[in-house]
Amino acid sequence: MPARRVAPVHDRDPDVGVVDERVGERHPHGARAHHQVVDVQSLHVTTVAPPLLPVHGWGRQNPPRNAQDPGHSVTRIPHNHRVLITRADLADPRLAAFLQAHLDDMEPTAPPESRHALDLTALQADGVRLWVGVDGDGIVGTVALAAVGQGHEELKSMRTEPLARGTGVATRLLAHALDDARARGVSRVSLETGSMEFFEPARRFYARAGFVPCPPFGSYVEDPLSTFMRLELGPR
């Protein structure tokens, strides 16, 4: 693996700082899962078959505990690493830890009634599909789709490992989920994210992907701490 670049912890990809969420259906026993091998640098995708910054108060952003020292730095994942996108193994303890870190990220951002991240149990519900992006070191991202209604699904559990932000992981995960939705005849994908400044990078990321503001959908209600967006899917 190439040497990893050292960069300040605040040098985050603004697209995926907390790309977001506020969602896997377990593979049927014995099914052959298809996955994608992604070369992030060349953006080459090959399909194969196998044999955050904490927020204190609602919306006020403070530095992470491990970066109080402005000179603090961490080892970042390089842009030329390869990422495998595959359906999640919900029994993988690494996934449980990754999802818990997501819940921990979201916990300080809003009161409980305004937080909508799904835990591991909720992700095992019918109509939920979860993917992971993995490299040689473990899980670097997740994305999921949850059924809302006929031809309508919700984007959930969109999260990138902090050390992998800025490497294109979130963009590839989103593209993978949307391609899967199109292939299954889904015509609309909606999402809910925060309305606070903390979530501005996520909102910009989704807007660049074609999502536009929309009213609450499904069981959501108007909430000043929520922003709702949707994407009408057409042929790729």
Q: Residues 6 or more apart from 130 whose CB is under 8 A from it?
A: 23, 24, 25, 87, 88, 90, 123, 142, 143, 144, 157
Q: What is the pTM (predicted TM-score) of this model? A: 0.68
> Quick check: 118 pLDDT over 60?
yes
> Quick check: 54 pLDDT over 50?
no
CATH 3.40.630.30 fits 14-46+78-232, yes or no: yes
What confidence tier does 32 reach under pLDDT thresholds 50, 70, 90? very low
* pLDDT for position 176: 97
The residue ranges of every structural domain in the chain are 14-46+78-232
> Quick check: 186 pLDDT over 50?
yes
pLDDT in tens, 63-89: 333 333 333 333 445 555 688 999 999
Name which of 126, 135, 161, 102 is nearest 24 in CA terms.
126
Give the separation between CA 52 and CA 226, rounded to whole angstroms.
19
Query: What percent of the chain stands above pLDDT 70?
Result: 65
